[in-house]
Amino acid sequence: MRKVLITGATSGFGKLLVDAFLQNGDYVIATGRNIHSRKEIFEDERLKYKDHFQEIDLDVTNPDQVILAADSVFKKFGSLDILINNAGYGLFGALEDLEKEEIRYQMEVNFFGTVDVTCAFLPMLRKSRGKIFNFSSVFGFMGFPLTSLYCASKYAIEGLTESLRAELAPHGVQVCLIEPGGYRTNFGKNLSWSQKNPDSIYRLQMKNYRELHEKVSKKKPQEPNEVSKGLLKLSLKTKLPMRKVYGKDGLFSYILKNYIPERMYFFIMDNFLKIVLLRKAS
Ligand SMILES: NC(=O)c1ccc[n+]([C@@H]2O[C@H](COP(=O)([O-])OP(=O)(O)OC[C@H]3O[C@@H](n4cnc5c(N)ncnc54)[C@H](OP(=O)(O)O)[C@@H]3O)[C@@H](O)[C@H]2O)c1
């Protein structure tokens, strides 16, 4: 039975991944912030899969909890087959409008959280010649205005993961980037929009960006199951690809960014963004 640990399992992709791997017959270690006091989230799983399922409190920014989680998995199993670094959130806003603490916290959760959890579990992953899946995003290969810190955190994940690919290969551990487009999880609800300064010179851009975001969110949502089921399928492959892009919007963005000359890409994007973000109310 494969042992699978998922961070940020309390919502969205994380919760769907728990269910997908349990249904596949794997042993799932669901981790999340205060997971033990949020009993309702995994009520069904606890009943149905009691011998295959465990919950561990793990805020990825809490180094003590990271160590405790790794110790507890080591004592129980001695090894881990799959680590899914999924925990994350988005901080949106103009760089100048962001508070220093917000900036640092975005990197703490999305980047250093992944680094710390990976370091703690690597000895166990090496033992089983396991697999690591790191959640990036379309924003991990495409910079976007008013999203710079979220993009930076995901670009950092891309650099980390691409580098670890060859570093860990001789030790039998494979790594893979998961790059979803827009899916309706709780990501939108949990977004942190920084707009504390009412006189910000970015207020028109922010207003238009939020409107664009709301408009896109109202469109027929892509089914987040696509990502959880896709990742489960991927985990069963002998050899992992470097990256897997999900969603029509994801693929479109990937092609736009990677298959047309850079000057043309920026010409298209600059003009599109000028029209959309600098539009004045009529
Ligand atoms: N949905 C999309 O369109 C989309 C697109 C591209 C990439 N992604 C990425 O997909 C991943 C999952 O997001 P989602 O869409 O499933 O959003 P979500 O529904 O908001 O779930 C995010 C999960 O991360 C957890 N989390 C946040 N901070 C944490 C911390 N410090 N320690 C541990 N867990 C923490 C949340 O826990 P709480 O329940 O405690 O808040 C929640 O379980 C993220 O890395 C996100 O960047 C999402």
How much is the pLDDT for 74? Answer: 98
Specify whether the CB–CB gap between 257 and 191 falls below 8 A.
no
Q: Give the DSSP H/E element, type plus range, for residue 192.
A: strand 192-193
Q: Which residue bears the tokens 């033992």? A: 127
How much is the pLDDT for 219? Answer: 81
> What are the phi and psi torsion angles at 193 (to 5°)?
-95, 115
> With the C-alpha atoms ordered 93, 99, 103, 108, is the resulting torsion angle positive or negative?
negative
How much is the pLDDT for 281? Answer: 73
The DSSP 8-state label assigned to residue 209 in this structure reads: H
In short, whether 34's Cβ falls inside 6 Å of ligand 1 is: no
Q: Which residue bears the tokens 């969110």? A: 217
How much is the pLDDT for 241? Answer: 98
Report the chain (282 residues): mean pLDDT per 10 consecutive residues.
Answer: 98 98 98 96 96 97 98 98 98 95 98 98 98 98 97 98 98 98 94 84 93 85 95 98 97 96 96 91 68
| Nearest one of 49, 11, 43, 8 to 27, comparing CA atoms | 49
Give nearest CA residue, ligand 1 atom 33. 59
The DSSP 8-state label assigned to residue 138 in this structure reads: G
> What are the phi and psi torsion angles at 177 (to 5°)?
-90, 135
CA distance 125 to 79: 6
Q: Give the DSSP H/E element, type plus range, for residue 4.
A: strand 3-6
In short, whether 253's Cβ falls inside 6 Å of ligand 1 is: no
Site to substitute for ligand 1 among 33, 134, 184, most atoms within 8 A of C-beta: 33
How much is the pLDDT for 197? Answer: 80
How much is the pLDDT for 217? Answer: 82
| Nearest one of 241, 247, 240 to 225, comparing CA atoms | 247
> What are the phi and psi torsion angles at 175 (to 5°)?
-125, 150
CA of 271 from ligand 1 middle (Å) equals 31
CA of 214 from ligand 1 middle (Å) equals 19
Number of H helices, E strands in the chain: 10, 9
In short, whether 186's Cβ falls inside 6 Å of ligand 1 is: yes
> Cα 49 to the chain's mean position, in Å?
26
CA distance 78 to 162: 27
As given in the structure block, the two tokens for residue 183 are: 């899916």
- Write the Ramachandran bin of 271: left for phi over 0, alpha for psi from -120 to 50, otherwise beta: alpha
Specify whether the CB–CB gap between 231 and 28 falls below 8 A.
no
How much is the pLDDT for 249? Answer: 94
The rounded radius of gyration (Å) of the Cα atoms in the chain is 19
| Nearest one of 270, 242, 271 to 254, comparing CA atoms | 242
What pLDDT digit, counting tens, does each position of 3-43 carry? 999 999 999 999 999 999 999 999 999 999 999 999 999 99
How much is the pLDDT for 282? Answer: 64
Residues serving a catalytic function are 136, 150, 154
Domain 3-202+222-259 in this protein, CATH class = alpha beta
CA of 127 from ligand 1 middle (Å) equals 28
What pLDDT digit, counting tens, does each position of 132-169 carry? 999 999 999 999 999 999 999 999 999 999 999 999 99
As given in the structure block, the two tokens for residue 49 are: 């899969």
How much is the pLDDT for 280? Answer: 83
Q: Cβ of 198: how many Cβ atoms within 10 Å?
A: 6
How much is the pLDDT for 218? Answer: 82
Which residues, 6+ apart, have CB-to-CB distance to 160 below 8 Å?
111, 114, 115, 134
